[in-house]
Structure 1
Amino acid sequence: MKIHFIAIGGSAMHNLALALANKGYTVTGSDDVIFEPSKSRLNAEGLLPAEFGWFPEKIHNDLDAIVLGMHAKADNPELLKAQELGLTIYSYPEFLYEQSKNKTRVVIGGSHGKTTITSMILHVLDYHKIDVDYMVGAQLDGFDRMVHLTQENDFMVLEGDEYLSSAIDRRPKFHLYKPNIALLSGIAWDHINVFPTYEKYLEQFRIFVDSIVKGGSITYNEEDLEVKKVVEASENTVRKLPYVTPEYSVVDGVTLLQTPEGLMPIEVFGKHNLSNLAGAKWICQNMGVDEDDFYEAIASFKGASKRLEKIAESTSSIAFKDFAHSPSKVAATTKAVKEQYPGRKLIAFLELHTYSSFNPEFLKEYKGALDAADEAIVFYLPESVAIKKLKEVTPSQISEAFQRNDLRIFTDSASFHQFVNDKDYKNSIVLFMSSGNYGGLDLGSVTNRIGKLKF
């Protein structure tokens, strides 16, 4: 097959392009800008466009299909040419469904935890040398890429994102996968730019549960009341399999998981990650992995990239970075680190830069999110707010939202970077939370001061 990618440089898109090339497809693509590591990875496989930009002449009738990335706009010249020629145009999730429609599809959904749960499942399967197709939203140790596609594998494991599919397909991605086996980890309002009310956001998860193939199953976190209500209210004829956080304890900075064979030390920590582990266990069992084999494999799981990832450690200090930016993720991550190291000072840095985090109504959701930290610092750039064409957000609004009197707030990169670089981190646990880069902060130099560099 000949496939052309419009916006090939995206994290998900370039991984799919690599997977298809590996499968033997002829792959071409375009993009107006491509950053690392996508650029080097595409170049290594001969898939990097010769020049950046959009070139309608690349679109012709010999192409079997177009894959349209979320980065491409509805007036993209290549998209318009493809529409004019009547070519088959897929969004990223539509194409993944086409590749997996004759397989058993396992879809992991939820506002939080889906990347970690998908990663746990893939780690266990890989440990036991069980081959599956997959798509996951993070780079995993031991895996060459984030997407893997074959003709022969029976299962396809998919991380089910609730964000929109493309500029011309406004359906959430996880509505398109039609799972045979599904999981729902949690529901907490997010993506306010496309789901302006909580009810509208909640409706997407109802549709997801109803999209499960009849006779399939939904494994769900019954400790999340919204998840419980959505799943139990669904009239879809599927098996409903609840899970809860397993028993565990923390001793000298080590989390011990209660198993049928007794306490077992594990690498990940925090109640939210133990809940994720419970969900992953049930999914693996549904896929034929027995309980003992799951525990044997999960003991060596160190976490997904940027999800409570340890980046530096010395005898007196440890630094973590986490993708957390939404209120529920920030709260869960901060509590997890404090629970793991109760006797140490916790310094938490949070960058706000998503569309949702600058909305005055959504800001209220951050109340108490940083309470577990001994010292809490928030950084955001007013120019980021302006770029998103939103109303000005003031430091007083941020302070009022978090409801923490000693919250430090920085609104320019220079002063924030100086504060971070001058900080004394002795006898502390340091937590960096963001899906951005803190205004260009050299995180490597900071963590090098804290301890041995881990990345």
Structure 2
Amino acid sequence: MPQAYHFIAIGGSAMHNLALALHQQGHTVTGSDDEIYEPARTRLDDKGLLPTEMGWFPDRVHTGLDAVILGMHARLDNPELERARALGLTVFSYPEFIFEQSKQKQRVVIAGSHGKTTITSMILHVLKYHHRKFDYLVGAQLDGFDTMVGLTDDTSADAAPVIIIEGDEYASSPIDRRPKFLHYHPHMALISGLAWDHVTIYPTYDEYVDQFELLADQMPKSGVLIFDETDNMLDVIGAKERSDVQKVPYEAHPHVIRDGHTYLTTTTGGEIPLQVFGLHNMKNIAGAMAVCDRLGVTDEQFYEAIQTFKGATGRLETVALSGNRIVYHDFAHAPSKVEAATEAVKAQYPDKQVLACVELHASSILNSAFLAEYRHTLDKADVTAVYFNAHTLAVKRLEPISPADVLNAFDKPGLQVFTEIADLEAFIKQNQANTDIFLLMSSAVPRPGTFGGMDLTKFV
């Protein structure tokens, strides 16, 4: 039965995708936001869902609505939220709404500090390759998928029996600071690895880890907990006794690197060529394979499908290629991700010169107390640089940091630190002739504003 939903902060990455998915189902969707960026702006406009005027308008919230969906970027004093509460309307956070829509489905949640988008993407790719029915929620736009959210009506003949959810530990909404993944109540959960992140939400490492232990403790009887056994903290969480919960540890899938290409080594199918690489991706593959196995996908079917997986958008993504010279961009901003990406590229191309550059941009990173977490994360690269914009610090009202603070934190001999994009660009051009592989890491997929709008394709 068609419903009427209003989105507060409809322009968010996840929010606008959910709005599109509900619109596609035939529901009435309205929304508001104070600012909407691309690609959300065009995608909403194409479906007639773009607000006619930016801002908050309490009269858009009325008793004819079945529910209001509240985005994380709205403030506590949002006038539309206040209006919804005054009218006694049902207000869902994004994860609460996803749970409501999937109560009759098998829920599979992929969590962890790193790798969750890629693991979720791998699972979706394999299931789609073999024409399985599934609903999904993933944190990146994927090839072959129109939206980042896919929902089917449980009452329809085409209802999917399972939903694959990328579950993050960010707060659920302005009025609910619990991690999103605690709202999904999974039957099967995978935790990919833990590294302190989101320091603005979780001031200590212990507080951060506690959220994942809560997720594991939440598993129902006959639930399945899949975890990276090479992660020391996850090994502790996984070893905890939980009544009637099946524990499935995994480690990196056996593989070999030859002439700049990575192959899975198997006992039955020989070597399986891949389009992704890096030790972290071999762990991601092993985790995805464990989930798919429990969804009825055989090893042979998994290996057949994974050969055509090109990676999630922005994750070690090739943005330019010419001859033997390659420019990669990676959504790597947290220390563990910077280290994993740098080590992956150098392992894939051990005989080539690698230039690695990190843009410090996210609020949770531009923090002098947190910078020490980056120590030695760039050690595997041959030439290194860090860029941050001092203006960003001022706009976000963050404590100032200096190039000296960054140098001390990374502790990498020869590291260059830049606060002006022109100086960074000159540095890269200076090293261009002797560099084979360029690895640019930032807190967003390539877009205007990443690395000051620098054209990443011109270094090949």
Please give the secondary structure, in 2, of the residue aligned with 1:357: coil
CA contact (8 A) 1:221 1:227 kept: yes
Quick one: structure 1 residues 408 and 234, their matched pair in 2 at CA, closer, same or farther if it must change by over 3 Å? Answer: farther
Q: Distance in 1 between matches of 2:363 and 2:128?
A: 36
Q: What is aligned with 1:264?
A: 272
> Which of 370, 383, 402 pairs up with 1:362?
370
1:182 matched to 2:192: no
CA contact (8 A) 2:355 2:381 kept: yes
Quick one: structure 1 residues 234 and 38, their matched pair in 2 at CA, closer, same or farther if it must change by over 3 Å? Answer: farther
Q: Distance in 2 between matches of 1:11 and 1:231?
A: 32
> Which of 66, 89, 92 pairs up with 2:91?
89
Q: How does 1:304-319 map to 2 (within 5 A)?
A: 304-319=312-327
CA contact (8 A) 1:417 1:441 kept: no
Amino acid at match of 2:89: L
Q: Distance in 1 between matches of 2:428 and 2:51?
A: 39
Query: Deviations along 1:37-89, whole A, 9 cap, x unmatched?
Result: 10111111111111111100000001000000011011011001001111000
Q: Distance in 2 between matches of 1:263 and 1:309?
A: 23
Amino acid at match of 1:447: T
Please give the secondary structure, in 2, of the residue aligned with 1:95: helix
What is the CA distance between 1:421 and its match in structure 2? 5.2
Q: Distance in 1 between matches of 2:394 and 2:261?
A: 44
Q: What is aligned with 2:164?
A: 157
Quick one: structure 1 residues 111 and 236, their matched pair in 2 at CA, closer, same or farther if it must change by over 3 Å? Answer: farther
What is the CA distance between 1:314 and its match in structure 2? 1.2
Query: Deviations along 1:213-269, whole A, 9 cap, x unmatched?
Result: 221101111011111111212535310011111211110000011112111111110
What is the CA distance between 1:386 and its match in structure 2? 2.4
Amino acid at match of 1:242: P
Q: What is aligned with 2:156?
A: none
Amino acid at match of 2:245: V
Please give the secondary structure, in 2, of the residue aligned with 1:196: coil
What is the CA distance between 1:157 and its match in structure 2? 0.4
Query: Deviations along 1:163-212, whole A, 9 cap, x unmatched?
Result: 10110011100011000011010000000001000010010001111122
Please give the secondary structure, in 1, of the residue aligned with 2:324: coil
Q: Distance in 1 between matches of 2:48 and 2:363?
A: 35
Please give the secondary structure, in 2, of the residue aligned with 1:440: helix
Query: Deviations along 1:393-414, whole A, 9 cap, x unmatched?
Result: 1111111111112100001233
CA contact (8 A) 1:317 1:425 kept: no
What is the CA distance between 1:390 and its match in structure 2? 2.4
1:115 matched to 2:117: yes
Quick one: structure 1 residues 362 and 289, their matched pair in 2 at CA, closer, same or farther if it must change by over 3 Å? Answer: same
Structure 1, 355-364 or 400-409: larger mean CA deviation:
355-364
Q: What is aligned with 1:61?
A: 63
Amino acid at match of 2:312: A
Q: Distance in 2 between matches of 1:368 and 1:420?
A: 21
Q: How does 1:284-323 map to 2 (within 5 A)?
A: 284-323=292-331
Q: What is aligned with 1:79?
A: 81
What is the CA distance between 1:448 and its match in structure 2? 3.8
Q: Distance in 2 between matches of 1:441 and 1:421?
A: 16
CA contact (8 A) 2:359 2:451 kept: no
1:240 matched to 2:247: yes
Q: What is aligned with 2:284?
A: 276
CA contact (8 A) 1:216 1:239 kept: yes
> Which of 407, 413, 419 pairs up with 2:415?
407
Quick one: structure 1 residues 312 and 213, their matched pair in 2 at CA, closer, same or farther if it must change by over 3 Å? Answer: same
Q: Distance in 1 between matches of 2:205 and 2:435?
A: 41
Quick one: structure 1 residues 439 and 247, their matched pair in 2 at CA, closer, same or farther if it must change by over 3 Å? Answer: closer
Q: Distance in 1 between matches of 2:364 and 2:77?
A: 25
Q: Distance in 2 between matches of 1:285 and 1:347?
A: 39
C-alpha RMSD over aligned residues: 1.3
1:33 matched to 2:35: yes
Query: Deviations along 1:283-325, whole A, 9 cap, x unmatched?
Result: 0011111110000000110100000111111113011100000
Aligned identity (percent) is 51
Amino acid at match of 2:138: V
1:429 matched to 2:441: no
Q: What is aligned with 2:132?
A: 130
Q: What is aligned with 2:333?
A: 325
What is the CA distance between 1:355 and its match in structure 2? 2.2
CA contact (8 A) 1:210 1:236 kept: no
1:168 matched to 2:175: yes
What is the CA distance between 1:112 and its match in structure 2? 0.3
Structure 1, 166-175 or 350-359: larger mean CA deviation:
350-359
Please give the TM-score of this superposition, normalised by the length of structure 2: 0.95
What is the CA distance between 1:383 and its match in structure 2? 2.0
Q: Distance in 1 between matches of 2:373 and 2:33?
A: 36
Q: Distance in 2 between matches of 1:217 and 1:255?
A: 30
Q: What are structure 1's unaligned runs of at least 5 residues?
A: 451-455
> Which of 13, 16, 26 pairs up with 1:11?
13
CA contact (8 A) 1:379 1:438 kept: no
Quick one: structure 1 residues 439 and 249, their matched pair in 2 at CA, closer, same or farther if it must change by over 3 Å? Answer: closer
Q: What is aligned with 1:447?
A: 457
Q: Distance in 2 between matches of 1:230 and 1:244?
A: 16
Quick one: structure 1 residues 421 and 427, their matched pair in 2 at CA, closer, same or farther if it must change by over 3 Å? Answer: closer
Q: What is aligned with 2:260?
A: 253
Please give the secondary structure, in 2, of the residue aligned with 1:378: strand
Quick one: structure 1 residues 60 and 216, their matched pair in 2 at CA, closer, same or farther if it must change by over 3 Å? Answer: same
CA contact (8 A) 1:19 1:148 kept: yes
Please give the secondary structure, in 1, of the residue aligned with 2:362: coil
CA contact (8 A) 2:134 2:164 kept: yes
Please give the secondary structure, in 1, of the residue aligned with 2:29: strand
Amino acid at match of 2:179: P
CA contact (8 A) 1:324 1:330 kept: yes
Amino acid at match of 2:391: E
Amino acid at match of 1:199: D
